[in-house]
Structure 1
């Protein structure tokens, strides 16, 4: 039974949220429905599906009709031997009888590539969801950093005004005031950089999700992740969709070699033909012999004897492409292993950084309070206060960043293990896209007149979205305390129907 990620954020169990609030589940659903990367990959998969009926058509009977009309402009002799005009129509039915396995291998290759395309679609979904989580957490992180920097500017501005007042009464020196001024200017520049980063993150959110971010809610906890990188790699090698796609592409090339080799063998067709001809009254002798019919039934043998080395080159080419596909599997496997181990390392280290940063924030808060108290009795300078405030800000930013990194890396680890795809997410908003439905529709379709009409855009455009700003609605310093998360935890989803 597979371990999966399930974002079943049960509405009944969730506390009431503001109307304008966005959840991670909503962002995932919007991207799944309207992101051009995923909608384009679905179209590519539908195109891949068509290779199966194309391959099958080579083994099915074909019916053609030819016709011709001839008007002689210059005649010699009498009309019995050279009529003025003639018309002929001839249908022909060709039934493939023997193709030396070319059709069978071609169909098998096409079907295998369809399976590879489905795995690629799964990989695209996982990559898209990982990007959605990343941009979602980017906005949350950068909003928190902007809020912290705004608070820092406010605190330093108050410090500067107090320093100037104390300078006026002789309690401080000009040096103390200059230090406060310099630190405030630095804080303002840091705030501007944080504002620019927040705007960039919000614009990137629009690019991935398709809508501007509202008031983003904290994401739900991730399910239990592997306790060691070895277990994560084992799971990834078994279920990673990109690796599965590469393996299917490799398997398809084996059939390609069979198709190329079949060109060396004879091919046999059954042929049924007929002809109707008429001279449209221009043949001498009155109405006698003005038209005629003929029909035939036979076998057609095509025996390749010498093709100038073309067939041999095609076989060698197919074998080389198979070798390339084999190496591509190894390359993909290496990438999956590195991706899994890297995500695990970042996830684990971020957890350690979070624990240390929480302690640092609490310690720096106590330190700042102590430095201010000691300054009031003359044992600490203004510079000591400024340094303590900067250390508190730095630890708060480190904590915010670590929480971002821990969640993004955890989700990336799930994606590497094949547990962050559309079938693993409890997304409300209609049925999930089913690539099998289109394949079943076209696989045995032999209608030469069928088409799906002119395609219409599916992904939403963002040209009308407003330019983003760095306005932060959250209260200042939201991360000094760590409240208990009231969101329902994510379940493994191991009992889901599609996992049995």
Structure 2
């Protein structure tokens, strides 16, 4: 008997673990592994980090070896065999264009890292948005089911009152109309929930399990610091899109110098060692060749005229620098706008949540009063139905306001360039098992 009890307890514990709802942080960790957009960005980062290696290669020695082997044979002419090799080394000493290419490659790596950071923040926002969209759809469906039960009771009550003659058929028709309407809304809510779960599945790569829900009556915190100008200033300087455009502008500036280097001389250190040998088969003892030869020296080149191509490329690079500068200003303005909108979204959302919490209490009291008034005959059926619908709308709007406020807090940090996984950890503490 004790063994049987132990087996039951173990099985019960296993089923409890299996039924455990997943939370926001767990889904984010799954998305890090399975999201195709994030995986693509990670591969793109690995590719971008090779730019500095390739740029540095133009400043390092170029070493090569080449060789020849030739067997010549003609009619009435003895065979002649020749072979030789050349080992060469070239080390740039003065090459402005190569140096600017190297500097650009380092900036390109930093730009790749900024682009990856943008995708990282975007993944946090996409996972959180999809998660809260599912919770909002669930809240809507749950509220509709509760409302359907309440209307069903009201419909049954109206029918009973009509049968005993204390109410008109109008009450029954009104309740039936509301019941039919909520049935249609229920189908729509079920479809919306399925769509929202599919959107979440696209990110994590599999059908999501049951989700942990937001704790009832949770208190949401205001932005820290509480000054909008601080967030806007941070967005204008630290937003990753802004950083990316800053790097693009610096690359464009160096591109001008690199193209101007088409007019500058280049100096290389060159060294070589070669040897050749020729043998006549008719006279096996006859070999000829120059013998091993070593050489070292400087090689310089001064461009004089290239058909105005260099001048044209410089003008083109200057125009592209102007474009990059305008793109940077546009990115700054857009980041500042996003920070302002998100900050106002958080502050107004907090006020809205507080107001809707009070409205929920009032709507619940109004529903109870109307139900009591209907029972004693001072209220009609439509009053009760309207009070029920008002409570449902208030509850739906309250849950959505909470989710929107949380999302705006994440968007605010994203605009300021400070959004991290730790922010999801903090929100995750607000979730509980359903």
- TM class by shorter-chain length? 0.7 to 0.9
Query: What's the secondary structure of 1:139's corresponding residue?
Result: helix
Equivalent residues of 2:343, 2:408 under 8 A apart: yes
Equivalent residues of 1:123, 1:421 under 8 A apart: no
CA distance in 1, matches of 2:277, 2:424: 70
Instruction: Find the counterpart in structure 1 of residue 284 from structure 2.
Output: 286
Bigger drift between 129-138 and 282-291 goes to: 282-291
CA distance in 2, matches of 1:152, 1:425: 35
With the length of structure 2 as denominator, give the TM-score of the two structures: 0.86
Instruction: Find the counterpart in structure 1 of residue 165 from structure 2.
Output: 170
1:257-272 matches, cutoff 5 A: 257-272=256-271
CA distance in 2, matches of 1:35, 1:381: 54
Bigger drift between 260-269 and 219-228 goes to: 219-228
Instruction: Find the counterpart in structure 2 of residue 11 from structure 1.
Output: none
Equivalent residues of 2:413, 2:419 under 8 A apart: yes
Offset of 1:147 from its aligned partner? Answer: 0.5
Instruction: Find the counterpart in structure 1 of residue 65 from structure 2.
Output: 65
Offset of 1:401 from its aligned partner? Answer: 1.1
Equivalent residues of 1:205, 1:213 under 8 A apart: no
Unaligned segments of structure 1, at least 5 residues? 1-15, 428-484, 490-500
- What's the CA shift string for 1:397-456, capped at 9, x where partnerless? 11111111111111111221222124x5587xxxxxxxxxxxxxxxxxxxxxxxxxxxxx
Instruction: Find the counterpart in structure 2 of residue 464 from structure 1.
Output: none
Instruction: Find the counterpart in structure 1 of residue 10 from structure 2.
Output: none
Aligned match of 1:141 in 136, 139, 157? 136
Query: What's the secondary structure of 1:341's corresponding residue?
Result: helix
CA distance in 2, matches of 1:64, 1:223: 65
Instruction: Find the counterpart in structure 1 of residue 92 from structure 2.
Output: 96
Instruction: Find the counterpart in structure 2 of residue 240 from structure 1.
Output: 239
Instruction: Find the counterpart in structure 1 of residue 6 from structure 2.
Output: none
1:304 and 2:300 matched: no
Query: What's the secondary structure of 1:215's corresponding residue?
Result: coil
Bigger drift between 349-358 and 232-241 goes to: 232-241
Offset of 1:55 from its aligned partner? Answer: 1.1
Equivalent residues of 1:253, 1:325 under 8 A apart: yes
1:386 and 2:382 matched: no
Instruction: Find the counterpart in structure 2 of residue 125 from structure 1.
Output: 120
Aligned match of 1:153 in 139, 144, 148? 148
Greater RCO, CA 8 A, separation 6+: 1
1:372-411 matches, cutoff 5 A: 372-411=371-410
CA distance in 1, matches of 2:325, 2:259: 18
Instruction: Find the counterpart in structure 1 of residue 272 from structure 2.
Output: 273
Structure having the higher Rg? 2
Instruction: Find the counterpart in structure 2 of residue 9 from structure 1.
Output: none
Unaligned segments of structure 2, at least 5 residues? 1-15
Aligned pairs, how many? 411
CA distance in 2, matches of 1:486, 1:214: 15
CA distance in 2, matches of 1:124, 1:366: 47
Aligned match of 2:196 in 169, 177, 201? 201
Offset of 1:331 from its aligned partner? Answer: 0.9
RMSD: 2.8
Instruction: Find the counterpart in structure 2 of residue 435 from structure 1.
Output: none
CA distance in 2, matches of 1:200, 1:228: 38
- What's the CA shift string for 1:74-96, capped at 9, x where partnerless? x37845xxx55543332222122
CA distance in 1, matches of 2:368, 2:28: 43
Query: What's the secondary structure of 1:299's corresponding residue?
Result: strand
With the length of structure 1 as denominator, give the TM-score of the two structures: 0.75
Higher helix share: 2
Bigger drift between 263-272 and 202-211 goes to: 202-211
Query: What's the secondary structure of 1:293's corresponding residue?
Result: coil
1:183 and 2:178 matched: yes
Equivalent residues of 2:235, 2:332 under 8 A apart: no
CA distance in 2, matches of 1:129, 1:486: 13
CA distance in 2, matches of 1:77, 1:343: 93
Offset of 1:17 from its aligned partner? Answer: 9.8
Bigger drift between 29-38 and 126-135 goes to: 29-38
CA distance in 2, matches of 1:149, 1:257: 64
Offset of 1:58 from its aligned partner? Answer: 0.8
Offset of 1:275 from its aligned partner? Answer: 3.1
Offset of 1:172 from its aligned partner? Answer: 2.8
Instruction: Find the counterpart in structure 2 of residue 106 from structure 1.
Output: 101
Offset of 1:123 from its aligned partner? Answer: 2.3
CA distance in 2, matches of 1:425, 1:402: 19
Equivalent residues of 2:25, 2:428 under 8 A apart: no
Instruction: Find the counterpart in structure 1 of residue 356 from structure 2.
Output: 357
- What's the CA shift string for 1:164-188, capped at 9, x where partnerless? 2333333333322221111111111
CA distance in 1, matches of 2:205, 2:212: 15
CA distance in 1, matches of 2:55, 2:282: 51
